[in-house]
Amino acid sequence: MSDTRIITGNEAAALAVKLVEPNVIAAYPITPQTSLAEKLSTFVEGGELKAEYVRVEGEHSALTVCISASTVGARVFTATSSNGLLYMHEQLHWATGSRLPIVMCCVNRGVGAPWSIFNDQQDSFSQRDTGWIQIYCRDNQEIIDTIIQAYRIAEAVYIPVMVCYDGFVLSHTMMPVTIPDYGKVREFLPPYKPSVDISPENPVTVNPVFFPWRRENAEGVLCDGYMEKRYKLQDALLNAADTIEEVSTAYGEAFGRDHGGLLWEHMTEDAEIVIVGMGSIASEATVAADSLREEGIRAGVVGIRTFRPFPRKAIATALKKATIIVVFEKCVSYGCDGGVSSDIKSALYGTGITAPIHNYIAGLGGRDVKARELADAVKETINRIDSGRPENETTWLNCHTG
């Protein structure tokens, strides 16, 4: 019999972590991640989860603990939000350069200054180029399932995975969630094996100084220089797309839920207007698309689940038949464009797809975004394009810009 409970996103995340049984957890509290860190403390202190929980003095240390623990063979977990994630930035690079299968939850929140405790995705978006795999969840069921998948992905490709979900919108909102069976999770997720054995018998110095050129080891074998190391990270990250798809499919077979590996689609088969989003805003967009359909507008939704590696081919395929593309996003590449839409444009270059792309920056710092407003924005885009007004623009939705 399935175990279904009405729980928050943070509870779903905590239950997932309990199921994957990490050896080491390190975390520092920050809104809206806090209740996740608290729940895990209760599991560990209550004896429900056997793990070393290091209550660190800051997020930089939280990830540092995970990095070194993972290096010596522990399965690890951490979670943060907003400025906490920014404070980890140096270690985000260190984790990927070290090729460690760390899994972290980013409970998405706007970044300061000025302060906001509420949701947008600027925190994880601004860590885009650190080499982490980033997967965005649309609901609480997807959170619990994605964390379990994340360990299998990370431990297969030796790249850390950031499981992102919207603060408050998901983290503090209760939804029905089916809890995966413990025995099945054990089968799905084999024990972690580190890539390098750290022991007195194998006295390696991990991550020493690399030179620009390749150098010979004691046996005369030419070994990687810095650039080869970096190339291998990029190559592994690009190839991780296949692993993400495979793991999503395997999870679907084992647990009956496949959330889509790289992206998911909603009524796109015959859609002329395709709405693109990431996380809960994409989920909200499905409601908007349904209401547009009722008005006779053939709308569909593409939800980007994996933001890095960016699913270029899958995006191009999903948008092939679109006549208008509307992107709703909660992050900005300041001085350039919306973060997601600029990647979409880059993915479409050379594919022959020339549909106009209208980009809406929405919901920054927790500003409410209703499905009706998304539908209205889509209609406004259609009007603009029909009336020959300039396309390929960015609009800040519900924002007083006068």
Residues of this chain that interact with other proteins (CB under 8 A) are 23-24, 26, 51-52, 54-58, 60-61, 64-74, 76, 90-91, 94, 198-200, 202-211, 215-218, 223-224
- The minimum distance between CB 57 and other proteins, in angstroms, equals 3
Comparing CB distances to other proteins, the nearer of 20 and 74 is 74
Tell me how far apart the alpha carbons of residues 106 and 80 are, in angstroms, rounded to a whole number. 5
CA atoms 159, 177, 266, 246: torsion sign = positive
Q: Which residues contact 373 (CB under 8 A, 6 or more apart)?
A: 397, 398
**Least CB distance to other proteins at residue 197 (A):** 9
Q: How far is the CB of 217 from other proteins (least distance, A)?
A: 4
Q: Which of 86, 76, 72, 78 is nearest to 51 (CA)?
A: 76
Nearer to other proteins, 91 or 395 (CB): 91
Cβ proximity to other proteins, 21 vs 337, nearer residue: 21
Check if the beta carbon of residue 354 is closer than 8 Å to that of residue 319. Answer: no
Indicate the residue among 58 and 256 with the shorter CB distance to other proteins: 58
> Which residues are 78's β-sheet partners?
104
Q: Minimum distance between the CB of residue 301 and other proteins, rounded to whole angstroms? A: 41
Task: Kindly state the smallest distance separating residue 62's Cβ from other proteins, in Å.
Answer: 8
Q: How far is the CB of 352 from other proteins (least distance, A)?
A: 45
Distances in Å between the alpha carbon of 96 and those of 129, 160, 328? 11, 6, 29
Element (H, E) at 91: helix 89-97
**In terms of CB distance, is 53 or 188 closer to other proteins?**
53
Helical H runs in 264-331? Answer: 280-294, 312-318
Q: Smaller CB distance to other proteins: residue 41 or 351?
A: 41
**Cβ burial, residue 171 (10 Å; 0-12/13-18/19+):** buried
